[in-house]
Every structure is written in C-alpha cells, then in structure tokens.
Amino acid sequence: MNLTLDIGNTRIKWALFQGDTLTDHGVVTPAELPALCARHPWQRAAVCASGQADLTPLTQTGRPLHLLTHTSPLPITLDYTTPHTLGPDRIASACGAWQLHPHANSLIIDAGTCITIDYLDASGTYRGGAILPGIDMKFHALHTFTAKLPLLENVESKQQVVTGQNTTQSITAGVLTATRFAVQGFIRHYCSHYGSVNILLTGGDADRLAAQGDPQLRSAIRQPNLVHIGLNTILNET
C-alpha cells in the first residue's frame, strides 16, 4: 500500500493507494502526521512538499520514502528552463494527468492559493504554463492595498456579475468574473493551438472557479486527487 502526502503551509492532504486504486484520503495538520503514519499499514510513501513539515514520523518507520523533486524518475519529460524552481505539486499533477490520459494533450488548472495552469502534450512533455493569484488572494489584496475597499470572504457567486452596481458586486466582478475570464482565455488559447485538449480542474476553489463559467470550463474533468494520483504513479514506476 502506498501513502502519498501533499504538504502545504498549514495542512497535509494524504491518500492511500492499493496499486492504482485510491482507497482512502483526507486532511491532517502537521501535528497529526505521527498518528496518521501509525494508523495505516502503508509500505512506502511519496511526498510533495510546497510548505514546511517535519518528516520525522515518516523517516522513523524505516520504510521507503520519496521526496518529489525535478530530479525524480518521472513518467514525463520536463521542458522547463528552470526545473529546480518548478513546484513539486505542478510536477505531480502533470504526472497524474499522464496516468489518467496517456498520449493526449492535457491542460491542468489547479485552483488553490494560487491558480496554476500547466500544459502537458501528447508526447508526455511538460511544456510549462502560468501562475495567477488565487481567488482569495485577490480579495485580500484589494482590501490590504487600498484604504476603503472591504474584505470579502467566502464569496459564492450564484450569477456571473460583470457590471457591478455596488462596491461588493464590483469587487466580485473584478475577482471572480475576471479570474474566470482569464482561465477561459487560456483554455481557448490551448484548444485553438493544439486541437483536442483534456481540461483537468483540481484544487480547493475548482467549483467556485467553474461556477457560471463558459461550457468548456464548466465541463472540465474534475480531478480533486490529481496530485496524489501523480505521486502514486511515480512510486509505482520507481
């Protein structure tokens, strides 16, 4: 059984796999990691670390542990001029896309703290992508760097506001609607240049991003465990 860990700044997302089948998953705090390691009979683990965490509970078990970097044995090729700066979560997501859709073009949209857009072509070559401020980051920036704009939190847009008729609606249009427009623009670019492209949507804000978007964004393939699928693929091929 494989254990995969996606370590962020404040929480750790984990998953268990038997072969290629995901059998369990959840979220723990760094303080809860020792209990997680002791609770499940895993044989080896792979870690994607964007934040800081003490991996001692894993290393103390003596079981094989793989910390994902750009030098890891990968099922894909990285065509990126500074691979050492490429986030391991972006690498893992691309490997997950290749596992789910081999020999096909894939555009991966990860809507988290930041929104990352990554393109993997049908030859299995990661070509790069884009990094945008995430939805909540934009709301906080408008409040932090201005004198009078309020902080809007947990905004759920039932309708796509384009022309705001009050300050709240104007901020919502400038954040939610403009973010959707940006992502939809990337989708149109890749589909127009490369033809058939699988659109994969992951991350905690995936639903909020896709709500009321254009048909391509609304119909994107939801893969909430894409990073874990990639980590498990790497484990199984090493």
Annotated catalytic residue within 54, 79, 89, 207: 89
Q: Give the integer Cα–Cα distance in Å for 62 and 60.
A: 5
The pLDDT of residue 211 is 80
The pLDDT of residue 157 is 66
- Residue 118, C-beta contacts closer than 8 angstroms, at least 6 positions apart: 90, 93, 94, 107, 108, 110, 126, 128, 129
DSSP H or E segment with residue 167: helix 167-172
- Residue 62, C-beta contacts closer than 8 angstroms, at least 6 positions apart: none
The pLDDT of residue 158 is 64
pLDDT at 155 over 70: yes
Quote the pTM value. Answer: 0.92
For the segment 67-121, what is each residue's pLDDT rounded down to a tens digit? 999 999 999 999 999 999 999 999 999 999 999 999 999 999 999 989 999 999 9
pLDDT at 184 over 70: yes
For the segment 8-29, what is each residue's pLDDT rounded down to a tens digit? 877 899 999 999 999 999 999 8
Establish whether 207 is a catalytic residue.
Answer: no
Going by the DSSP 8-state scheme, the letter that residue 177 receives in this structure is: I
The pLDDT of residue 53 is 73
Give the chain's domains with CATH numbers. Answer: 2-102+225-236 (3.30.420.40), 129-221 (3.30.420.40)
